[in-house]
A and B are shown apart, each in its own frame.
Chain A
Amino acid sequence: MILDARIPGGPIQDKWDRHRFEMKLVNPANKRKFRVLVVGTGLAGGSAAASLAELGYDVDAFCFQDSARRAHSIAAQGGINAAKNYQNDGDSIWRLFYDTVKGGDFRAREANVYRLAQVSAAIIDQCVAQGVPFAREYGGQLANRSFGGAQVSRTFYARGQTGQQLLLGCYAALSRQVGLGKVRMHPRTELLDVVVVDGVARGVVARDLVTGKLSSFAGDAVVLATGGYANVFFLSTNAKGCNVTATWRAHRRGAGFANPCFTQIHPTCIPQAGEHQSKLTLMSESLRNDGRVWVPKTPGDKRPPDQIPDADRDYYLERKYPSFGNLAPRDIASRSAKEACDAGRGVGPGGRGVYLDFRDSIARLGRAAIADRYGNLFDMYARITGEDPWRTPMRIYPAPHYTMGGLWVDYNLMSTVPGLHVIGEANFSDHGANRLGASALMQGLADGYFVLPYTIGHWFATASLKPVGTDHPEFRRVEAEADARLARLLAANGSRSPDSFHKELGALMWDKAGMARNQAGLKECLQRIPALREQFWSDVRVLGNGDDLNISLEKAGRVADFLEFAELLCADALQREESCGGHFREEHQTPDGEARRDDRNFCHGSVWEWTGQPGAPRLHQEPLVFEHVKLATRSYK
């Protein structure tokens, strides 16, 4: 496997401009002859499919949801960053670039991050032109707020529903192209495999989730925009349908998987209520702008929160990180919560929770101001917990939320399989070991609106592709393999539901490979996961048949892939003998419990190659060079 990041030469601020000039173009009249298969219709996939169709390419778009508008980008609450400097507070492309590289704990590629910061401003312009109803000031200008990990106000938002509004914007653009006949939309259709012909990605095999029919689609490029893999933990803030199947299947067909151990645990989620829990709900971390995080100073203090005086409270983020306080980045805030709970100072059922208290800001700003900012979040909290956050502080606990790791891509967003492009959360490139708040929406839309539409043209113009149709024997072969897999799931006829396996895997991963990891725990995972996988294939029970809507069969296929992928995540976490960003190895910490990075040995992306069997991946490295942001200990103190 050769890892050539294809980073253009020249000064960092000129790389993207120069690259755009140097890339070959496709004659406008020829664009319709190139067919692109876009899998996933969240912010990355939806914006890419719409933009590619506008350019004249022939596009097929796929999503497993019943409508493109329902992809999980829709659930992002807080906002989207852009280096507009509308607030005159000293923001710039350089500062957004710097913050993102530092926030990612120096494990992202500088050139990609710089480009992301460069195109960020155009995203806001594009979204406003589409009619995205961002929050406004009375004078009619756009409003901004500051967001976890940033000291400038560069976050644009639409109440607490920014992801929804951005997704509806790109869904509208996509709908327009569907109406014009430029995009063939395939909802309720799930990718089961990628078809590689002569080393080049030439199509996909997908299952119609209503009729169960398997179909092949051939194209000149495949774009995966299929999101992250946080559901490997079973309980996460992801939607129930989010899965690793597309990226894992692509990995098995030759795409390198980079940094799978870089997972983000979000600090402000509603704690688990019981065994029945099916997902965890995130509350926007914008709450940390006005809420103060605390636990009782004394372990086991069971007094109701309003009876614990300030002297007996530990506002631990303010104490440990005086300059960032409650706005400390996600990984740090999450780990501090775990630390407090591990020390027996956690609150609520099971002691897995910390308080997020608005008492002081309500006293300072008044209830109306707080209701205006967070009213919907207060309602959501009350609805889920049955508690009134106006009377008693919220309880929060970290939960898996986002995955920085993903398929390795070069500067053109192409994976190690030529023709296979990967965008949005599904790739690994921009967030390093930790993603800053309000940067996921930015990256998804940057990739889809402003990067891929250029780079994919270069691929078409230079690849000299031979015509390949679905009658090619490789399509028949991959389809037969996918079919056999489904048949095997249906035939296992065991005693346990797919969900029971998923829960067991998730509990193991959260316990041993979640917020904190150590060698013994990871080795235990590497032993137990293959055994669980074996048990799955012999003892899973999938009822019904393959030729209609079968929710068990869908679920079983996804769980089967999580059971293979989880092993890779653990192997990656085990070999990365350092702590950085969301990856915290207990063996590598400073005396006061902070992450200790090892730049001498681990300043690289770890890229895994599939060798034919789960559990035997081959490791490659992409060295990371920091020329503009000096490698430094990330301190928020």
Chain B
Amino acid sequence: MKVKLRIWRQEDARSAGRLVDYALDDVSPDMSFLEMLDVLNERLVAQGEEPVAFDHDCREGICGTCSLVIDGIAHGPRRATTTCQLHMRHYEDGATITVEPFRARAFPLLKDLTVDRSSFDRIMAAGGFISVNTGGAQDANAILVGKEEADLAMDAAACIGCGACVAACPNAAAMLFVSAKVGHLAHLPQGQPERQRRVLGMVGQMDKEGFGTCRNYYECEAVCPKEIPVRFIGEMNKEWRQAALDYGEQ
């Protein structure tokens, strides 16, 4: 099949970027979207043009490295699908496809389609853990977790940290990501002792990083490749309010 591509090219954070047109006429419907970009890159190298830089690694939808806004939608048109798991069979022959990076103030662009998502790591370092040193843990079955609660924790923990929620949000809010992290531990007995410190720390860091505020557009839930539900945002807001009251305005 044939496709026309309009791809965002930008040398580095300081340069101006632009959409550049490319055409491919030997695309197989069985290719993944990234394999289609591989084909483009091989051709660019052959023509003496620098390949398009994009982030990717596991190519099986779990590492959260791949990104891309495809025709205006983070991770493209398929529900619950990362870009690396999107296949060309879902496109019409002759389709024009626009490819842009995840855009957000807190995700500065590095080159072409590659952005810096280290703000997520800093949010995690501000409280996204249980303070337990290696060794000295009690027998695992001494902590009972009912299946329903364990399943809820797992629903939240399934977040792959890709940042699509931020890219999709008109305000570039990171609420779905942060709430998934907060929700995962809040639903487990092990997470209780630091519950309030955690939510205050992580939300505080989120604000410092320059993410926007949540206005309930729910675009995040719509694009989330792991279908993390927005209910976790509601839960986090409740967690945060209680913690802020208990700790006083900090």
Contacts and interface: CB of A to CB of B under 8 A. Distances in A.
Interface stretch (B118-126, B206-214, B215-223, B238-246): B118-126
Contacts of B12: 548-549
B129 A175 contact: yes
Contacts of B125: 175-176, 178-179
B56 A138 contact: no
A84 interface: yes
A279 interface: yes
Contact of A136 (B117, B150, B191): B150
A171 B130 CA distance: 11
A172 B130 contact: yes
Contact of B30 (A72, A128, A159, A273): A273
A125 interface: yes
Nearest to A176: B129
A344 interface: no
Contacts of A134: 140, 150
Contacts of B126: 179
A68 B150 contact: no
Contacts of B160: 164
Contact of B42 (A210, A240, A449, A497): A497
Contact of B65 (A68, A70, A277): A70
Contact of B132 (A130, A210, A279): A130
Contacts of B19: none
B63 A70 contact: yes
A136 B137 contact: no
Interface stretch (B1-9, B46-54, B92-100, B168-176): B46-54
Interface in B74-101: 81, 85, 87, 89
Nearest to B44: A543
Interface stretch (A139-147, A192-200, A302-310, A585-593): A139-147
A138 B143 CA distance: 13
B38 A139 contact: no
A140 B145 contact: yes
Contacts of A172: 124, 128-130
B65 A274 contact: no
Nearest to B42: A497
B53 A549 contact: yes
Contacts of A277: 35
A384 interface: yes
Contact of A175 (B55, B61, B121): B121
Contacts of A363: none
Contacts of A326: none
Interface stretch (A47-55, A431-439, A508-516, A524-532): A47-55
B42 to A, nearest CB: 6
A127 B205 CA distance: 26
Contact of A185 (B111, B121, B130, B135): B121
Closest 8 CB pairs of A and B: A140-B144, A179-B125, A172-B129, A129-B137, A125-B137, A136-B150, A273-B30, A128-B140
Interface of B: 11-12, 28-32, 34-35, 38-39, 41-42, 45-46, 48-51, 53, 55-65, 81, 85, 87, 89, 110-111, 114, 116-118, 120-121, 124-135, 137-141, 143-147, 150, 153-154, 157-158, 160-161, 184-185, 188, 190-191
